[in-house]
Structure 1
């Protein structure tokens, strides 16, 4: 499925290409590597973020643009993207003064959203209770490392070779093009997607927690009643189409080698191989200690009990839980609003409850065999 590019988009793309060519080809890339994980809520992004957070060479932050949304909540998602982009650019450059616009000047490290999800903020110089090469849980970090000053965030950031940010608050890639051509950044994009049916099933368990964000995504009037969750999913699915189509544009030379599509289901089906591929893209070494951790975290028991926490669980069962628990009537409605995204990203539709419950039926198409967005 190819989506036509508008005239406005063509002009913008040509402008970016001209701007990119104005920089000297001899200009060296920054020594630091910057990775942006683009995803949506309940898509396995917390787990994928931890693949980076637990790496001893990575400074990781989980959803810093949360501060933009909570401070400017009367705006719609599209209007907030530029402010979010400017914030993550500053974070990539380890300039944490950007948070002055969204947080009290009298703040501790613990005032940063989901700070305890960052191993870098739980080890020196941000915290003295653990070492950089330790695998650190959120609970232990939150207990011991919360009372350090906010200045430790910037201090820690400057000591790492890689800065990784996970975000769920971008809905197209074009708003990020200025960062991709910015000579002060060495940015790569990991676009993480998950079967929309699994996302929908997971969101049903966390509707209250996600209500605030969902209202910004579609507007409060479109997030009400039985139709509300489907309206949100429709916008999320459309955003994945846009990001994948924009990220795969062969015409944009500055995207070559800097965009990677990852399906959560591919991670959980072969965690070690997929993690190795992701680390290679990010120019990181997959250490033996991390290999053991990845195996253990994806081969535990059960489905996990905390919606936004990462613990050892059976990752394959987690990814397939919707097939056992979600009523087919809801699946049919969801497939209706997300069909284009599912076709594009390689998720097979189920046409009956029998197909849904048939666990021998593989619902994933091989990603390498998917048609490109320009030719499908």
Structure 2
């Protein structure tokens, strides 16, 4: 049976009283007021509601009495069960015309609330399941496999992960034909178990402006694929590569080594935190394969300005972009900037 909660009841009362010039009360199946335009009445027994519940029909009260105000009280029925009562206080002749209208509106709002609550519950259960399968320490049990099947995942079959970052908030329903889970408001983890469908999925995703994609290897555990895809995404974003997608297999050394850098690379990153122009310069320098002329041309700056910026990077970080070993440290610094 659906349970009408006080917070929901009060929200409905507040909403309805913007349009109805009478006090409205909502009572639970026991006749207790759980929502009212008169806060002092909340928590008290409404005798008119109790009568409406007992009789299973609308009860009109012509005169104010000791424990009840005049007005009309109508049972709220869902799936053949009374889940509460809505009451409108005032002269019966005046409130009666509003009765069925208010009752229908209240039922509609309750159904909307129930649907929203169901959606929230389903989302919570889905997120809980994703947390389990993305935990490297979790074993694939028969029970977990059955839960996975409900989301279209064959847990004992190898899979690839496509990790997608969007410039704006994204909905899971964007992907209809693959199991997809939100890892943040702007990112999706998509599970692919048929390798031949991967190319089609990537093409579908890349129709979204600004989306970035990272693809894992084929793995027995989803947690391994997610780690690989997220590590590859850090490389793609950190180095600001020209491509919109990257494969973990193509950047495995960088991705894995960057994860081992610890605080050293993060400390370097902090030194350039307020120097976006220097970060952009370093990223472009790398994209141009250390070609100074091409870098300056792409940044639309003079070659001397480029050398000045590279010298500033050296001065601020203590690492020289023109020195191959120190440049490697700067590369890991750029990757470490990505959460």
TM range (shorter): under 0.3
Q: In proportion to residue count, which structure has more strand? A: 2
Give the structure-2-normalised TM-score. 0.20
Q: Which has the larger radius of gyration?
A: 2
Give the structure-1-normalised TM-score. 0.19
Structure showing greater relative contact order (alpha-carbon pairs closer than 8 Å, 6 or more residues apart): 1
